[in-house]
Every structure is written in C-alpha cells, then in structure tokens.
Amino acid sequence: MEHSPTSRQSVDALTGLYTWPEFERQQRAAAARVTRHGGALGLVIFELDNFSELSRRLGTEGSNDMLRHIANLLERNVRVSDVLAHWNGPRFAALAPALDLHETTGFAVKLRRLMAEYRYDGSGLISGSFGVTEYSPGEPLDAFTQRALGALAHARSHGGNRVAAARAAQN
C-alpha cells in the first residue's frame, strides 16, 4: 500500500503517515513515471482551519490526538495508490496518481466534506483549506508544490473551508 509507511525514518511519529522527506521521495518517483510514461498526477496540500484556536482549547495532548484521528480518517478514505503525508502542525499532503486537475479537485472536495462531517470530542466543527494542482511533465517539483501552496493560500485568504485549484502555466 502506497499510503501505509513501513520504515521508521519515513513515518511521522504522531500520525503514522509519511514524513515530508519521504513524501518528496514518493513525489519524485511519481513525477518521473508521468514524465516517462504519460498519465496524470494530482497534488493536494491542506491545513486544518483555526488550528491554533483548537490547540488552545484542546491542549497539546488533545490537539495531537485530533491530528491522529484526522490522519486515520484520511487513510480510511483514500485509494491504495494515494500517498499521504503529515507535513507539520495542521498541514497534510496527498499525492494522487492517475488523477488530473478536475479529478484531484473532486478528491479534495471529498476530503474536505469528510473533515467537515467528522466530530472530535470538544472540537466542534473541523474545517480545512485545500490547495490542488496537477503535475506538468518535466516541470521542477518545487514549481508543482509551490503551485499547490499558492492555491492553499488562496483558499485560506477567501475564508477557509474550501478547495482552490491552480493550473500549470501553458508553455
């Protein structure tokens, strides 16, 4: 299973998802496959909205437990081929092989709805902001990631609890 890490160095101790360095390794391999053989590769980067407020209310132990529950919710609702990572704090990422921008946006909408419907003890509404993009074969991976981060920033700046997508510039 792509999203079930097994090596200690590749696993985030808090959530059990991939660490960011392992996610980047998986991203390089997936991008190389798309560049070499064609196909699509989607990227979703997302953050829990108002995490600082939730953290203050729940305390460190409670907010860490909530992150573990969110990670488990994500793992139960992705495809075997998807790659999940806990980047840091309230930020997560998902690599979606074989999904184009439209399909990846639909995937992100599904994840946003799942989070919005999930209730963690004492937390109230859990919402997230999502940035989505599709890999353009041969582009630098930094550009791919930065585009998703830009879409995430757009979602957050427009009130959060939404999905924003960004398309690669055409040459």
Domain boundaries, the chain: 8-166
Predicted structure pTM score: 0.92
Can you give the pLDDT of all 171 residues of the chain as single tens digits?
354 455 568 999 999 999 999 999 999 999 999 999 999 999 999 999 989 888 888 899 999 999 999 999 999 999 999 999 999 999 999 999 999 999 999 999 999 999 888 887 766 778 999 999 999 999 999 999 999 999 999 999 999 999 999 999 875
Copy the structure tokens of residue 31.
């991008």
CA distances 78 to 9, 94, 104, 136, Å, are 23, 9, 12, 23
CATH (residue range 8-166): 3.30.70.270
| DSSP reduced 3-state for 11 | strand
